[in-house]
Amino acid sequence: MNPLNKIIFLSAFLASGFLLILLSCALYNNFKPLWVILIFLLAPLPNIVSSSIDNNRDDFLRFNSSDMNNPSPVQEFCKSLTGFLIVSGVALPLTFYHTNLVEFGSMLMSIVGGLIVYFDITIFIWFFSEEEDENDDFNF
């Protein structure tokens, strides 16, 4: 797939996620679900940080070749923090609904929109972080 097509496709999904979250606020005249945007925008950051730390780490300090498959404590912490943020992004609108601060439609739209935003950012990182070595033999 052409990189430009990927960017257009992913930006359309990102815009639809933001639109759902903003509509969940505007249609019901309650702007508490806007916190979902912040939570789901922060959710992929720990994994980005852990992958950049892991890519910059020297391999000569490892004595076993079996250590390559074991995640580091930094990676484990970042995965836990990402999971915590995702669960918080879903649980916050549910808590708002349970305490009658938002209505059911607002809760549903903010959860779906937030998950669209998170998965869109994750897919964007996955698409553009893969190595270009697959066509290296033919010099394309």
Q: Give the containing element (helix H, strand E) for 23.
A: helix 3-26
Domain residue limits at 11: 3-54+70-129
Two tokens at 117? 């935003």
Mean pLDDT of 32-49: 92
Q: Is 65 domain-assigned?
A: no
Q: Give the containing element (helix H, strand E) for 105.
A: helix 104-129
Q: Number of folded domains in the chain?
A: 1
**pLDDT at residue 65 tops 80:** no
Query: Who wins on pLDDT, 137 or 9?
Result: 9
Residue 130, burial from CB neighbour count under 10 angstroms (0-12, 13-18, 19+): exposed
CA distance 114 to 120: 10
Q: Is 33 domain-assigned?
A: yes
**pLDDT at residue 103 tops 80:** yes
Q: Which residues are CB-neighbours of 94 under 8 A, at least 6 positions away? A: 107, 111
Q: Is 42 domain-assigned?
A: yes
Tell me the pLDDT tens digit for each residue of 5-40: 889 999 999 999 999 999 999 999 999 999 999 999
